[in-house]
Structure 1
Amino acid sequence: MPRPAPAGPTGPQSVDRALEILDAVADAAEPVGAKALARRLGCSLSTVYHLLGPLTARGHLVRTGAGYAPGPRVAALNQSFRRHLGLGPQVAELLPRLRRATGAEAYLTAYRDGRIVVIDSTVPVTDVGHPFLPGAETRAHATAHGKALLAALPRPARRRYLAEHGMARFTDRTITVADRFEAELTQVRGQGYAVSMGEADPAFTCLATTLPCQDGGPEGVLHALSVSLPTADFRQRHGRIRAAVARAAAGAPV
């Protein structure tokens, strides 16, 4: 007898939709029901259930009374991601410690293979409206952590990054001219830290510095430590903020 037709998409389409489900659940502030996922993906409810089965069985998702939420496998993937970026256990307390010292939200960012990613932050997971959240960084030229990482790259690698990602304007303070940006990065290298005052978000200022590398770390990986706070607050205590970030970075090689 012929085999019954599958209940949902197969091959690359199936993989793509499964990843869309993972993204949708991860981005949601609360568990998401199967019907809501079907509406978001624009596909049938049976297709969604067809994909939810293996995602739940493998622990990428869990089913709750209110819908689907990230599962325990996500934590293991995050640990693996951090390990491959050379982040040891000594980094775990770095961001909370800097948050307590400055009263500003703190971030850990990495560059690898032409990509800049915000790995972690002290921003509450429920604050989905915050302008700086973990994930792929699309505004590196306008952020302090992006400037710090780009300033540490060899010039050819930096040019490749900017050619691929561009220099979009986000506010009237965003630097979008290559020569001016290079001059900015020269200043960053000279002073040892980068500042973005209203360049990515008009209300916020960020300050960042790169972290020292340990021998044996992953080749080609750079890390930056940064904070963000309202610009008015930064202007009042920029010296203390800069000193706190420098102390935290000096004591946290990765």
Structure 2
Amino acid sequence: MSSTTPGPQSVERALEILDLVADAGGPVGAKAMARRLGCSLSTVYHLLGPLTARGHLVRARGGGYAPGPRVAALHRSFQRHVGAGPGVGEVLAKLRRASGAEAYFTAYRDGRITVVDSTAPVTDPDHPFVPGPEVRAHATAHGKVLLAGVERGVRRRYLAEHGMARFTDRTITTAERFEAELARVRGQGFAVSVGEADPAYTCVAMVVPGGGEGVLHALSVSLPTAEFRRRHARVRAAVAECVRGFSGGAGNTGA
């Protein structure tokens, strides 16, 4: 089947283009796309036409392609579907002020964990935690509290599918140790990850009650480990206070 004819291969290539542009630090040219995808330039232009026409991509002023306005609408739709109501941004801003750390709203749904929203600057490409699919759930505090809230069989399937890669020398990479860690998380009501996903950062998370059928939510913060050690009590208290406010309706998470 030709790569330019409608069908699964064209769909796969179009999605690869979207991922490539989304992950790039700036606009991406068609020739660069063709090289990365290992296909012809004509194939790339064939797919860029409908992607730009539908607003998923735009032609940048200086050349190349960048994410288009349709992406924002898709993100808002995704937020609604995982229960992130209009109050989430306000809660995260409050948590940022109270803790002095970047704040996050994360959701579990249908076997996937996603960082839905964050106060981390979008202009900081070096920040270790950004909105999007969470591929380090076993090494993050928000991943731990969310996985601690699902049934063991569901959790085993999740870990089998996503693996338990080692990111630092502190990362838990065995199911037995991870189950022990989650038992501790359930007992104390919060999760901490000290340098497990990124060697320089600590994150703290708590589950937000009332996520809905098959959906779990978490609030978390991340900060340099040295700062956490100096004011860990204040940071945990700030997360707990925002979770209580969220549960009382401040987050308005009804989908």
Which TM-score applies when normalising by structure 1?
0.91
Which residues of 2 match residues 198-213 of structure 1 at below 5 A?
A: 198-213=195-210
Establish whether residue 145 from structure 1 lines up as the match of residue 139 from structure 2: no
Establish whether residue 89 from structure 1 lines up as the match of residue 86 from structure 2: yes
Establish whether residue 111 from structure 1 lines up as the match of residue 105 from structure 2: no
The one-letter amino acid of 1:33's match is G
Cα RMSD after superposing both structures: 1.9
Task: Call closer, same or farther: CA 1:96–1:29 in 2, change over 3 Å.
Answer: farther
Counterpart secondary structure, 1:162? helix
Q: Which residue of 1 aligns with 2:250?
A: none
Counterpart secondary structure, 2:103? strand
Which residues of 2 match residues 33-72 of structure 1 at below 5 A?
A: 33-66=29-62, 67-72=64-69
Distance, in Å, in 2 between the alignment partners of 1:252 and 1:16 is 39
The partner residue of 1:222 within 204, 216, 219 is: 216
The partner residue of 2:227 within 227, 230, 233 is: 233
The partner residue of 1:191 within 184, 188, 191 is: 188
Distance, in Å, in 1 between the alignment partners of 2:35 and 2:126 is 23
Distance, in Å, in 1 between the alignment partners of 2:88 and 2:221 is 15
Q: Is the 8 A contact 2:89 2:117 kept in 1?
A: no
Distance, in Å, in 1 between the alignment partners of 2:3 and 2:36 is 19
Structure 2: gaps spanning 5 or more residues: 248-252
Q: Which residue of 2 aligns with 1:100?
A: 97
Counterpart secondary structure, 1:108? strand
Q: Is the 8 A contact 1:109 1:120 kept in 2?
A: yes
Establish whether residue 12 from structure 1 lines up as the match of residue 8 from structure 2: yes
| Moved beyond 3 Å, runs of 4+ | none
Counterpart secondary structure, 2:246? coil
Q: Relative CO higher for 1 or 2, CA cutoff 8 Å, sep ≥ 6?
A: 2
Task: Call closer, same or farther: CA 1:13–1:168 in 2, change over 3 Å.
Answer: same
Q: Is the 8 A contact 1:9 1:47 kept in 2?
A: no
Q: Is the 8 A contact 1:108 1:119 kept in 2?
A: yes
When structure 1 is superposed on structure 2, of 33-42 and 82-91 the one drifting more is 33-42
Number of residue equivalences: 247
Distance, in Å, in 2 between the alignment partners of 1:130 and 1:250 is 27
Distance, in Å, in 2 between the alignment partners of 1:110 and 1:94 is 15
Counterpart secondary structure, 1:195? strand
Structure 1: gaps spanning 5 or more residues: 1-5
**1:133-171 superposed Cα distances (whole Å, 9 cap, x missing partner):** 222212111110011101111222222222222222222
Percent of aligned positions with the same letter in both sequences?
74
Counterpart secondary structure, 1:30? coil
CA drift of 1:234 comes to 0.3
